[in-house]
A and B are shown apart, each in its own frame.
Chain A
Amino acid sequence: MTTPSFITAQAAELRSVFDKARALPFTLSREEQAESLLAIRVSQDAYAVRVNEISGLVTDRKIVPFPSPIPELLGVAGIRGALVPVYSLAALLGYGAEAGQVRWLALCGTEEPLALAFGGFEGYTQIPLGQLYSAGQKDVSRMYVTHVAQVTNSVRAVVSIPLIRKAIQEHCRSGRVHKER
């Protein structure tokens, strides 16, 4: 069992690390050679999302259902003062409706923002670029997956947000064409 003295020591360590980080001189070399990823879980499968492909991460927002011919559209939610359409990442990846509450939303884009909802967020991670492989190299053929990242001991499919945005936009356009006809 963890003792209170250990917790006190851990708090002191955290304080020390934070202060040390603030005290160290700033360098960019490390960040330029690494890829920042968000480790997520979609229908119990491990995925990753590039941090630079999203514009924000929010949680626990009320999703108001919105009638739409696009089945992946869960509804709309108010994020940062704007109504943003929320799509199910699981549905987009072909899993169907995800079981349980979908509380994580990845905000994509700033001009026409949309949000991708997923069930689990496992954390922020940075991996060297050498641990990022193209899907062809790892013989992975999944929709919207262009790369595969090796994070610690596991392998995660890196979902391409631009491909998903493009696909959604195409869905929206085709839906609009159907509606105009």
Chain B
Amino acid sequence: MWTFGRKIAAGFTLAFLLLLAIGAVAYRSISLLTSTSKLVTHTHQVLEHIAEVLSLLKDAETGQRGYVITGDEAFLEPYQTGTTDIHSVVKELRELTADNPNQQKRIDQLEPLIAAKLDELKLTIDIRRKGNVDEVTKIVRGGEGKRTMDSIRVVLGQMDHEERDLLKQRADEVESAASGAKSTIIYGTMLCLLFVMVTGFLITRSLSGQIGAAVRHVQSSSAELQSAANQQASGAKESSTAMTEITTTISELLATSRQIAESAQRVAHVAEETSAAARVGDTTVQKSHDSVNGIKRQVDLIVTHMLDLGKKSQQIGGILEIINELAEQTNILAINATIEASGAGDAGKRFAVVADEIRKLADRVGGSTKEIRTLIEEIRAAVNTTVMATEGGSKAVDLGARQFAEVTAALKQITELLGTTTAAAREIELSTKQQSTAVEQVNIAVSNVAKAAKETEVSSGQTLQTAGQLAGLSRELIRLIQATANA
């Protein structure tokens, strides 16, 4: 399918070619007319020169006759003028008819005749000047001069006749060329007008259809564009609002990031201080560990001593058992002695008193033994409790020692971890600073984006306005096209 430009270019090209053809034909006709007119003018010049040659010869003859008749030199002026100018005129005539061999031949014939005539005139004038009128009359009457003049007239008449034939022929040619140019211009112009009208009609019809369809398409597209611009405007507004919120959020994020960086710096500082304190604590714990080990040794010694004390208490208990048994046996013996004494009558009564005292003593010893046993038991219980407590203390000291070892290990680990924490905090600080820088860049970028979003919002408004104007223009175009089609 041909495009608008191609169709218009084709129409204008054809019109241009037609105009060029018409112009070329007209130019050719006008050139022909001009050249023919020049030839006519040239012929008129040749005719004028022929007439001038005859006129100059007549003037010379007239002067000769006047002088011959009167002898007055004043009559020689035309003669002088004619004889002076005739050669140049003949020369010009030769030049003007250079393209005509016939006329050149006639000029070749004419020049001796003119020379002969001028010689005859000069001869008569010279003779007259001498005063010999008769001889002059005789020469004139001889008729030589008249014959020469007649011959000149014949030649000039032939030349004039030929030139007039040429003039007629060239006039016909001029008329023919003018008629052809006129016909070419009229018919070519009409043809061109007809072609332009037809082409214009066809192009207009074609363009009206296509432009109408295109304009309707543009109208629908502009409506869609308007809708899209509306959406884009609302979207751009939302984007602008969102970007403003994002900017605010990023600003808060930036502040938070800076706070994190400061916190990380403080954490690193605190971690370093804590690491130093942990190292001091490690040394202190090591000393405490040594002290605990010393306490453990002392406690072990105490346990050993307490166990010895327990053993001694047991031995005392054993001895006390023996004493108790002895007291019991003494008591039994005393009772038996009392029984025996009671069986011995009065003689046994004193012994019974002694036995009773022994029994009482045994009772007291038994009571004391019980008390001592109680004491021993208390001591043993206390020793056992102490041993158990000491063993518990020893275990606690062991546990404490182990825990101290664990605490030492933990403190070492804490020191190492604090080193790691310090490094990590520094890395966090560095990263957070980099993050802050990045967030600042992001903030700037987002600000630019927000600005761009606002500009987009404005552009969307302008696009919407332009779409509206485009829709209006489309309607106007459709109205114009439909009006043109209706018209």
Contact = CB atoms under 8 A, between A and B. Distances in A.
Interface of A: 1-2, 7, 10-11, 14, 17-18, 21-22, 26, 28, 31, 36, 38, 51-52, 54-59, 123-124
B369 to A, nearest CB: 11
Contacts of A21: 353, 357, 360
Contacts of A38: 335
Interface stretch (B14-22, B117-125, B371-379): B371-379
**Main SS of the interface on chain B?**
helix
B368 A1 contact: no
A22 B353 CA distance: 9
Contacts of B329: 59
Interface stretch (B289-297, B342-350, B473-481): B342-350
A123 B363 CA distance: 8
A52 B339 contact: yes
Contact of B338 (A28, A123, A124): A124
Contact of B335 (A1, A7, A11, A51): A51
Interface of B: 328-329, 331-332, 334-336, 338-340, 342-343, 349-350, 352-354, 357, 359-361, 363-365, 368, 371-372, 374-375, 378
Nearest to B379: A1
A26 B357 CA distance: 12
25 contacts: A1-B375, A2-B371, A2-B374, A2-B375, A7-B368, A7-B375, A10-B368, A14-B361, A14-B364, A14-B365, A21-B357, A22-B354, A22-B357, A28-B349, A31-B352, A31-B353, A38-B335, A51-B335, A52-B339, A52-B342, A55-B339, A57-B332, A58-B336, A123-B331, A124-B359
Nearest to A56: B336
A56 B339 contact: yes
**Main SS of the interface on chain A?**
mixed
Given A10-B368, A14-B364, A58 B332 contact: yes
Contacts of B375: 1-2, 7
A57 B330 CA distance: 11
A57 B364 contact: no
A54 B339 contact: yes
A44 B350 CA distance: 35
Given A21-B357, A57-B335, A51 B342 contact: yes
A28 to B, nearest CB: 6
A59 B340 CA distance: 17
Nearest to A2: B375
A7 B350 CA distance: 30
A75 B336 CA distance: 23
Nearest to B357: A21
Contacts of A36: 338, 342
Contacts of A52: 339, 342-343
3 closest residue pairs by CB, A with B: A21-B357, A56-B336, A57-B335
Contacts of A124: 331, 334-335, 338, 359, 363
User: Which of A31, A38, A56 has the most CB atoms of chain B within a 10 A radius of its CB?
Assistant: A56
B339 A18 contact: no
Contacts of A22: 354, 357
Given A2-B371, A56-B340, 14 more contacts: A2-B375, A7-B371, A7-B372, A10-B368, A17-B364, A26-B353, A31-B349, A31-B353, A36-B342, A51-B335, A52-B342, A59-B328, A123-B331, A124-B359
Contacts of B371: 2, 7, 10
B80 to A, nearest CB: 198
A116 B371 CA distance: 30
B363 A26 contact: no
A56 B338 CA distance: 9
B361 A17 contact: yes
Contacts of B354: 22
A58 B332 CA distance: 7
A68 to B, nearest CB: 27
